[in-house]
Amino acid sequence: MERIVIFDLGNVILNFDLGLFTGKLAALSGCSREELHAFAFGTPLDKSFDRGDISPEEFYRALTDRFSLAVPYEQFKQIFSEIFTPTPGTTELVEMLSNNYPLAILSNTNPLHFCHIKETYPVLQLFGAYYLSYELRLLKPDPRIYERVISACKCPPESIFYIDDLQPNVDGALRAGMQAVRFQSAEQLARDMKAGGLVA
C-alpha cells in the first residue's frame, strides 16, 4: 500500500508573522497595529478570504475602506505576503521524504499568500498536489475537507500521514482515519516519522 505524506503550510513548512503585515500597514496609515489586526484577523474577514468567499480585491477593499488607507493594491499585496520565513529543518525533511513518497499540501490559505509562497520558495515544487481552502471552499477542521482530500488521493485514509501545527486540525485528520501528528519542530517531526514507519 503506497503511503502519501501531506503537510500543512503555515508554521510547518514556513513560519509566518502577521505582525509584519499589520505593522507596515499601520506605519503607512496612521491607524494602530492593534486596530488593523483586530479587523483583519479577529473578525470573519480572514476566514472568508481563506474559504474563497471573497476575492483578493474584495479583501483589499474591505481593509482600505475600513481604515481609509491610501495604499495601492500592488503594494498591499507585497506587504500582505512578505511575512514568511522557512521553518528551520523542515525543508530538509521534505526533500528526504520526496525521494520515497508522494507529497501534498493541505492548507487553510488564500490566493495572495499561496501564489507568493509558490513563486518564492522552491521547496513547494517538491509537492505533487495542493489542497487549498480557498479552492476547496472549506476550512480545516471541517470534516468535509478531509473527505475531499482522501477522495482526491484515491487511497485508504490510513495510508495518509498528515502533519499540522494546530491540534484541532490534527484531530480532524485522525477522525477521518488518517495517521496524523502535530508539528512542533523539525526534530520532533523526524521522531514522529520514524515512529510512524516513514523513515528508518
- Look up the CATH architecture of domain 4-15+84-195: 3-Layer(aba) Sandwich (3.40)
Class of the CATH-defined domain 18-81: mainly alpha
pLDDT at 31: 86
pLDDT at 1: 64
Residue extents of the structural domains in the chain: 4-15+84-195, 18-81
pLDDT tens-digit series, residues 146-162: 999 999 999 999 999 99
pLDDT at 28: 87
> Rounded to an integer, what distance in angstroms lies between the CA atom of residue 173 and that of residue 142?
10
- pTM attached to this predicted model: 0.95
Helix-, strand-, coil-residue percentages of the chain, each rounded to 5: 55, 15, 30
Q: How is the beta sheet containing 4-7 ordered, strand by strand?
A: 129-132, 103-107, 4-7, 160-164, 179-182
